Amino acid sequence: MINVMIIEDDPMVAELNRQYVAKVEGFTVIGHAADTKEAIEMLAAVEVDLLLLDIHMPGMNGLDFLRQLREGKKDLDVVFITAASNISQVQQALRLGAIDYLIKPFEFSRFQEALLQYKSHYFGLDNRDKVSQQELDQMLQKNNDTQKSGKFATIPKGMTRTTLKKVVEVILQVESETFSTEDVAEISHISRVSVRKYLKFLTQIDFLEENLVYGIGRPIYRYVVKKSNRNSVTPYL
């Protein structure tokens, strides 16, 4: 589970962000601080992986707070969630190592994208000794062509990005190492015919590995996420 702390002085915004986090599988809010002084006290007491940080707050602002964390070699990741849209503020945030920057107001889908990309690109790297060049390129660039054009990669005709996101979310939730079309259909409440189409696509882009398994009755296809290439789906989401 990824531990999230929200640092936001507006209680209504903080509660909305907490509700958003609760909707994304694999994340849990372990604390909320109304200012950076309270945040420092909480960080000394609990283990945090990801901060959702505002810029404009009473006392120290979010940028100075992140700078202080970096100077203190505090090992955690930060997503800014703020109304501050001045380009210099955005640049400072990125230079200080923020992994994403959300400008209020925003849709849940953009919030969800930030968290899922964090889980896919960054979380867990501390537990690994090495990373491949392909994984590193995908993590830093999030797909070269997509980044240059500012657009999503094109998905096949007859498919929707919303449904693709849902299928990927379900796949990442499945507890067993392998899963079938029926497994995903049952959890997602999407028809098996549609699920099969999306699984085929995810296999084509090398996100999944497909195997035909023979047993009692008709053979079935079972799938497994290719851990070394799990970022291949990111440009489509």
For the chain, domains (ranges, CATH) are 2-127 (3.40.50.2300), 161-236 (1.10.10.10)
- pLDDT band, residue 151 (cuts 50/70/90): very low
Would the pLDDT of 149 be above 50? Answer: no
Instruction: Give the chain's mean pLDDT.
Output: 85
Higher-confidence position of 149 and 224: 224
Would the pLDDT of 147 be above 50? Answer: no
State mean pLDDT over 118-135.
Answer: 67
- pLDDT band, residue 50 (cuts 50/70/90): very high
* Other CB atoms within 10 A of residue 70 CB: 13
How large a percentage of the chain has pLDDT more than 90? 48
Instruction: Tell me what pLDDT residue 93 has.
Output: 92
Higher-confidence position of 233 and 184: 184
Strands 77-82 and 50-53: parallel
Would the pLDDT of 134 be above 70? Answer: no
Higher-confidence position of 122 and 169: 169
Which of 41, 36, 38, 77 has its CA nearest to residue 59? 36
Would the pLDDT of 14 be above 90? Answer: yes
Instruction: Tell me what pLDDT residue 123 has.
Output: 64
Is residue 91 within 8 A of residue 117, CB to CB? The reply is no
Alpha-carbon distances of 10 from 17, 32, 46, 201, rounded to whole Å: 11, 11, 22, 42
Instruction: Tell me what pLDDT residue 146 has.
Output: 39
Rounded-to-integer distance, Cα 201 and Cα 184, Å:
14
Higher-confidence position of 136 and 95: 95
State mean pLDDT over 155-181.
Answer: 86
Question: Tell me, what amino acid is at 93?
Answer: A
Instruction: Tell me what pLDDT residue 145 has.
Output: 42
State mean pLDDT over 182-210.
Answer: 91
- pLDDT band, residue 152 (cuts 50/70/90): low
Would the pLDDT of 42 be above 90? Answer: yes
